[in-house]
Structure formats: structure tokens, C-alpha cells
């Protein structure tokens, strides 16, 4: 039986009077590809924000490989192995595609500031390594020829791909994708599906993804969790979820 990678215990998030997520518990096993779905405003992105430390949960805790991470700062959580993309794309717009990825290599390829200021041999060696690794990653994502382009000048699909490449550069164990196919045309979505499968193998990843494109979710995910008004209403295989009464109610909004 595969080991437990991530465990969320009784996560609750209050914003003033509004409770966005209520007593949410789940586990993700090593190597799984899990989908997190739910109607708009169900609290999906809030879950991501809690897992990555952007928000400190009002209650509950998050464990990565049995280590408590929910009290850590976002950059430490990233260094421990959770990386993410953003629903509303947050690239470093005025920096080059290459620099976007190089920045994400920072935490695992850094060297003392002294070496940078005095241009020591270590500076050149380390910077070369960062450059080579970044270019390799850009190659996988078909962005190598765009390396000098500013991130804001990329097409929408390219931006989404760059965000995933950037997240991978942090060497994550768990990759969180927040609506990776949003705004993509069917062909781009198809390519994205293949890409996710490919990087999952290549980088030995565990993936949790939020997505509205049901065809992508049903095709890709081995397990799906459904959130409605901050409550986990279903957790199972695509077929189980598809047949679940409460899920259908949540999506159709009826009082069946």
C-alpha cells in the first residue's frame, strides 16, 4: 500500500462571518492524481491557499509526509515539497520566461550572496546549472524558443504551461494545479491532458487539481473530491462521483 503523502485534518477557514471551508479532512497517497471539484464559491481555491500556507487555517492542520506544515510560511512549505499554480495566473509578468523558471530554482540551487557580489567560480558554476536546468524544463513544456520573451507577451495557453513549469522547478512532491485548463480551447486542453500525464511519470509526482472541465477531470483523475459550500460531499472514483446524488444536487442546485 502506497504511503500517505498529504493529510488534511479538520480544516476550517473563516473569513469574518463567512465560513469558506468546514471541517475538511482528506488524505492523498503518494503517486495519486486527485481532482477537487465543486460549484463556484465552493471553497476549492481556499483549500489550496490553506495547503500552501497563503492562509493559516482557522482550525485544523495539514501534514506533509506526517510532518506538520500548516503553521509554516508559504516559502517553507514550497521548499518542503508542495508547489502550485494560480487560478488567475500569477506569472512574473515583466520578467523573461527564462527568469520566471530560474526564480523557482532559487530555493534549491542557491549560493551565498557573497559569491554573487564577488563573482566567484561558484557563482558561474551554480548559475550555469540553474540555466541548464531551466532550459531543460522549458524544453519539456515547448517554451525553449520563448525564453527571452516577457511572460506577459505569451499566449494564454503558454502562460498556463509556464506556470506549471515554474511550479515544477521547485522540485515538488505534490503539485497543486488550480484550473490548469481554464480559458483553453479543446485542442489545448487535450495537449494539457497529455502533458500532465507525461510530467507525472517523468517527475514522479502526486497531483491535486481543481478543474471545471469535467471531461478533463473524468479522464485524468483516479479519485475525485467534491466540495459544496465548503463541505466535502463526495470522495471516490470518477464513476462513483458521477452517480452520487448529492453531487448531482450540488451541481444542478435543486432541492431534490
Rounded least distance, CB 232 to another protein, Å = 21
Residue 16 or 253: the one with the smaller Cβ distance to another protein is: 16
Check binding of 105 to another protein (CB under 8 A).
Answer: yes
Q: What is the DSSP string of 174-238?
A: EEEEESTTTT--HHHHHHHHHHHHHHHHHHT-EEEEE-S-HHHHHHH-SEEEEEETTEEEEEE-H
Binding to another protein by CB under 8 A, coded x per residue (else -) over 34-73, reads -----------x---x--xxx------------------x
The 4-15 sheet, strands edge to edge: 18-29, 4-15, 59-64, 67-68
When binding is defined by CB under 8 A, the residue of 26, 63, 111, 251 that contacts another protein is: 111
Task: Provide the 3-class DSSP secondary structure of residue 3.
Answer: coil
Rounded least distance, CB 23 to another protein, Å = 22
- Nearest CA to 102 out of 143, 144, 133 is that of 133
| Touching another protein, residues 195-214 (CB under 8 A) | none
Check binding of 238 to another protein (CB under 8 A).
Answer: no
Angle at 199 between CA 148 and CA 196, to 5 degrees: 95
The residues binding another protein (CB under 8 A) are 15, 45, 49, 52-54, 73-75, 78-79, 83-84, 86, 90-96, 99, 102-111, 113, 115-119, 123-124, 126-128, 130-131, 148, 150, 166-167, 169-170
Amino acid at each position: 500500500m502506497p504511503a500517505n503523502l498529504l493529510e488534511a485534518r479538520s480544516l476550517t477557514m473563516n473569513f469574518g462571518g463567512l465560513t469558506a471551508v468546514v471541517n475538511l479532512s482528506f488524505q492523498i497517497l503518494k503517486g495519486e492524481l486527485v481532482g477537487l471539484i465543486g460549484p463556484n464559491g465552493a471553497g476549492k481555491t481556499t483549500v489550496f491557499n490553506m495547503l500552501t500556507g497563503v492562509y493559516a487555517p482557522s482550525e485544523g492542520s495539514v501534514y506533509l509526509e506526517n510532518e506538520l506544515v500548516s503553521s509554516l510560511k508559504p516559502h517553507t512549505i514550497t521548499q518542503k515539497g508542495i508547489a502550485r499554480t494560480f487560478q488567475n495566473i500569477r506569472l512574473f509578468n515583466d520578467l523573461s520566461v527564462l527568469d520566471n523558471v530560474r526564480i523557482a530554482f532559487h530555493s534549491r540551487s542557491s549560493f551565498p550572496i557573497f559569491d554573487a557580489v564577488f563573482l566567484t567560480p561558484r557563482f558561474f558554476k551554480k548559475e550555469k546549472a540553474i540555466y541548464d536546468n531551466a532550459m531543460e524544463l522549458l524544453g519539456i513544456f515547448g517554451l525553449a524558443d520563448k525564453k527571452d520573451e516577457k511572460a506577459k507577451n505569451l499566449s494564454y495557453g503558454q502562460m498556463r504551461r509556464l506556470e506549471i513549469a515554474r511550479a515544477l522547478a521547485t522540485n515538488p512532491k505534490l503539485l497543486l494545479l488550480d484550473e490548469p485548463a481554464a480559458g483553453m480551447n479543446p485542442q489545448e486542453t487535450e495537449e494539457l491532458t497529455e502533458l500532465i500525464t507525461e510530467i507525472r511519470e517523468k517527475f514522479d509526482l502526486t497531483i491535486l487539481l481543481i478543474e471545471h472541465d469535467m471531461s478533463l477531470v473524468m479522464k485524468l483523475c483516479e479519485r475525485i473530491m467534491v466540495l459544496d459550500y465548503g463541505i466535502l460531499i463526495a470522495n471516490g472514483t470518477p464513476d462513483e462521483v458521477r452517480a452520487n446524488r448529492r453531487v448531482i444536487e450540488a451541481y444542478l442546485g435543486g432541492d431534490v
